[in-house]
């Protein structure tokens, strides 16, 4: 099938590459000329395991194309995915300006019946706005062309996006006619050999499904972090509590690991956007508001522990930070806890030596570029040299079994603050470390 994908961000690029890998002819469109040139040269602007190889391979096979021109792809394809960003507005709502700008362009340049698919994460009612926007442009052209707007939310985990797309848990399609469902089922047939994975519903329900899924997962995280904070107060061990409740099949082990808060491009934005939608319709979403508040406060738990140990004045102190990305296997630092922790510590005079396997460029050029007291190093052990304590914020695999003798030798003080509960308290205590976890008394 011939497909156009508008937007070469995380969702658009992964979707385009995976569709191309299944033999479809895919054209990815972006207004950023520099990004398009880079993609044509095989340079992928984001880190996602397997993505660069997949993009390069399919570009060489000429099943994947990149362009800034929307006219020709729309003329040659019947299915057009909208996969542009929906950043969070100041009031917490999803900003739809880019989605609607794409809709206008489609209405201006389409030449035959189109299936327009919302792949971006958008609030309930967006498909109707897209439909109205396209129709308005067609009316200006006095055109009687027809089109369908379909909702097809993505459920990709950063760090495992290729696997998620190629072997999806489910493919959710929201449409208002049988032909649209048939077209999407044909497109996704190679990915959904088990037809139970292909789920059809009305458009508004599909839009709501995406937000509900992310809000549910965020709720589990914030709930477990609240339990961790209670455990620490009463003297219980949240790691043992997690094992106790996770064995219940109704609860399971997924997303109940205590930590220093969630981040990324989805959970923070989507929880707030869903809450804003609820309020716009006159409903106060008490649980969603609590989920967001707990997460906001959880991001300061580690910095608060540092202040309790070293005092409010951190002049002359240096801290080694292991991990900058919001999660492992990505370079994404959007809403990452590392930003909060580093700002809290440097604002009190501390210096930071930071290491992350993939996110250094993002930190240096954008998220932490205005913080002078951060030095970046090339290995986890280099960060430790002459530091007063180690702070672990991202659970990269290379951090799981470090050489604790080397850590002790390089640190000024044998102190570790672990925001992801990666290590054994008993082991580190036996080695002479002062070890601070989430949800466990030190």
Q: Indicate which residues carry an active-site annotation.
A: 266
CA atoms within 13 A on the CB side of 261: 26
Buried b (16+ CB within 10 A) or exposed e, 70-97: beebbeebebbbbbbbbebeeebbbbbe
The backbone region for 350, taken as left when phi is positive above 0, alpha when psi lies in -120 to 50, beta otherwise, is: beta
Largest CA distance in the chain: 79
Q: How far apart are CA 351 and CA 385, in angstroms?
A: 13
Tokens of 180: 């649209």
SS (H, E, C) the chain: CEEEEECCCHHHHHHHHHHHHCCCEEEEECCCHHHHHHHHCCCCCCCCCCHHHHHHHHHHCCCEEEECCCHHHHHHCCEEEECCCCCECCCCCECCHHHHHHHHHHHHHCCCCEEEEECCCCCCCHHHHHHHHHHHHHHHCCCCCCEEEEECCCCCCCCCHHHHHHCCCCEEEECCCHHHHHHHHHHHHHHCCCHHHEEEECHHHHHHHHHHHHHHHHHHHHHHHHHHHHHHHHCCCHHHHHHHHHCCCCCCCCCCCCCCCCCCCCHHHHHHHHHHHHHHCCCCCHHHHHHHHHHHHHCCHHHHHHHHHHCCCCCCCEEEEECCCCCCCCCCCCCCHHHHHHHHHHCCCCEEEEECCCCHHHHHHHHCCCCCCEEECCCHHHHHCCCCEEEECCCCHHHCCCCHHHHHHHCCCCEEEECCCCCCHHHHHHCCCEEECCCCCC
Report how far residue 319's alpha carbon sits from residue 337's, in angstroms, rounded to the nearest whole number.
15
Take residue 300 and report the two structure tokens written for it: 């300061």
Q: Using an 8 Å Cβ cutoff, are 259 and 420 in contact?
A: yes
């Amino acid at each position: 099938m011939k497909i156009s994908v508008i937007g070469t961000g995380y969702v658009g690029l992964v979707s385009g590459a995976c569709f191309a890998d299944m033999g479809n002819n895919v054209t990815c469109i972006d207004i950023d000329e520099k990004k398009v040139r880079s993609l044509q040269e095989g340079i992928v602007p984001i880190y996602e395991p397997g993505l660069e190889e997949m993009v390069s391979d399919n570009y060489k096979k000429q099943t994947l194309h990149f362009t800034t021109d929307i006219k020709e792809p729309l003329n040659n394809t019947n299915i057009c995915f909208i996969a542009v960003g929906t950043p969070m507005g100041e009031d917490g709502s999803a900003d739809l300006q880019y989605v609607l700008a794409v809709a206008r362009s489609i209405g201006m340049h389409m030449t035959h019946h189109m299936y327009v698919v919302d792949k971006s994460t958008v609030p309930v009612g967006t498909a109707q706005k897209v439909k109205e926007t396209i129709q308005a442009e067609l009316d200006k052209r006095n055109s009687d062309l027809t089109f369908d707007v379909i909702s097809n939310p993505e459920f990709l985990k950063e760090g495992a996006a290729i696997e998620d797309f190629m072997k999806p848990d489910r493919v959710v399609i929201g449409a208002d006619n049988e032909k649209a469902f048939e077209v999407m089922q044909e497109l996704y047939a190679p990915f959904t050999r088990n037809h139970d994975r292909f789920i059809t519903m009305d458009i508004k329900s599909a839009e709501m499904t995406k937000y509900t899924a992310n809000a549910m997962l965020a709720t589990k995280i914030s709930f477990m972090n609240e339990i961790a904070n209670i455990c620490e107060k009463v003297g219980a061990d949240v790691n043992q509590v997690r094992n106790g409740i996770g064995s219940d099949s109704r609860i399971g082990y997924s997303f109940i690991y205590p930590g220093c808060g969630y981040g990324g491009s989805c959970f923070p934005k989507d929880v707030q956007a869903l809450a804003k939608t609820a309020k716009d319709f006159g409903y106060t979403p008490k649980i969603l508001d609590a989920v967001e508040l707990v997460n906001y406060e959880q991001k300061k738990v580690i910095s608060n522990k540092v202040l309790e140990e070293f005092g409010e004045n951190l002049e002359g102190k240096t801290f080694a930070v292991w991990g900058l990305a919001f999660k492992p296997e990505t370079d994404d630092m959007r809403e990452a806890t590392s930003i909060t922790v580093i700002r809290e510590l440097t604002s009190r005079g501390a210096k930071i030596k930071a290491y992350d396997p993939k996110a250094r460029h993002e930190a240096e050029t954008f998220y932490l570029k205005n913080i002078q007291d951060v030095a970046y190093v090339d290995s986890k052990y280099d960060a430790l040299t002459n530091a007063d304590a180690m702070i672990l914020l991202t659970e990269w695999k290379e951090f799981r079994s470090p050489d604790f003798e080397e850590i002790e030798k390089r640190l000024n003080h044998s102190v570790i603050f672990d925001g992801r509960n990666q290590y054994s308290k008993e082991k580190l205590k036996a080695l002479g470390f002062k070890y601070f976890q989430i949800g466990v008394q030190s």
